[in-house]
Amino acid sequence: MTDIRPFRIDISDADLAGLRDRLARTRWPVEVAGAGWERGVPLPYLKELTEYWRDGFDWRAAEAELNAHPQFVTTVDGQDLHFLHVRSANPDATPLLLVHGWPSSVVEFLDLIPLLTDEFHLVIPSLPGFGFSPLSGPGWGNLFRVAGAVAELMSRLGYERFAAQGGDLGAGVVGMLAMLHPGRVIGTHVNGPSPYPFGPPAELDGLSDAEKVRAERFNTFREDGIGYLALQATRPQTLAYGLADSPVELLAWIAEKFREWTDPAAELPEDAVGRDRLLTNVSLYWFTGTGATAAHVLYEGMQAYKQFMASAGEQEWSAEAPTPPPGAVAVFAADSSIRHLVDPMGTVVRWTEFDRGGHFAALEAPALLAADVKEFFATLR
């Protein structure tokens, strides 16, 4: 099945009414008096955000904004892949793949699209198990497999050579593409890579002041902020029941990350990305039921990574391995990227650090990210 079918988002009125009904009937937990964000999402904040989701948020407006961009679905290796394909008016524009992470979706790139289409043809897939790419079965947490499917998608669109950009899980896919198809990938650009979270703490000796701040942030994350990942990486099915059945649980699960991982200057998630953008992303997870399947994808990804690392010492690496394409890294204010840890071989040709923004750079600082992407790929033309 190599056909590419047009796609349009059309959530039913019944599904919208069902969401509002569930939100209205939320059974709220007891909160420890005086507790703040250190125990998770505070009850008063989540109640107010839930009320806005139920009575103030306009899904139809968000749906129309998404549908303003051409969308399609194709089937690769038995897996449906939904994607946006926004072509530039410039016929000689460079094809650019934009890959989202967790807990994100194609919504992440809405503000970036108009900043890039003067120079790029954009392909923005929903990764398997996310958004409108419902999970067809196990095995799609393996980023090698995902990268292969995405490369096939680019071939079907007629893009034999292309650039690639991503963050979080998307950065992993971009990295796998560079390994599997170095001759096809013009260059890679990733934002916010960090050391392996289950690995050792980052040593502070020999670091610059800016690197020490990021290292201390990473070490704090290892100690206090990794619970979500430990649960998704070990017991995704147990978590899935809450994410599939309770929109408030899904909202809390995602909103917490938008609070912890965005610009440190932002007190609340909507201070960094905007309340409607946040709820568009959460709504997409809710209507597609992919809060649960995304957890399974992360579980499989962590298992695959552990197996890869366990066997890495036994691999016989060829001295004639192809040269990887040029790579760039953008580091934003909330990131924990430390160059010698994420680029030990010194292969990154462009390393840029910004004093604002965070994990969701395309949402938080789209102008900064777009400019960095353009400047980097301009050097490769």
What is the mean pLDDT, run by run of 10 residues, along the chain of 381 residues? 91 98 97 88 97 98 98 97 98 97 98 98 98 96 96 97 97 96 97 88 93 94 91 95 98 97 96 97 98 95 79 57 90 95 92 97 98 97 80
Shortest CA distance to 356 belongs to which of 247, 264, 273, 243? Answer: 264
Report the distance separating Cα 102 and Cα 282, nearest Å. Answer: 11
Q: pLDDT value at position 316?
A: 56
pTM of the model: 0.95
Instruction: Report the b/e string of 318-356 with b at 16+ CB within 10 A.
Output: eeeeeeebbbbbbbbbbbbbbbebbeeeeebeeebebeb
Q: pLDDT value at position 221?
A: 94
Q: pLDDT value at position 100?
A: 98
In a 3-state reduction of DSSP, which class is residue 376? helix
Tokens matching residue 318: 């060829």
299 close to 141: Cβ distance less than 8 angstroms: yes
DSSP code for 171: H
Q: pLDDT value at position 305?
A: 78
Q: pLDDT value at position 333?
A: 97
DSSP code for 210: H
Topology of 4-19+41-312+323-378 in CATH? Rossmann fold (3.40.50)
Q: pLDDT value at position 320?
A: 62
Shortest CA distance to 286 belongs to which of 261, 258, 237, 253? Answer: 253
Q: pLDDT value at position 304?
A: 83
Q: pLDDT value at position 270?
A: 95
Report the distance separating Cα 310 and Cα 305, nearest Å. Answer: 8
79 close to 149: Cβ distance less than 8 angstroms: yes
263 close to 81: Cβ distance less than 8 angstroms: no
Residue type, 185: V
186 close to 377: Cβ distance less than 8 angstroms: yes
Q: How many CB atoms lie within 10 A of CB 27?
A: 6
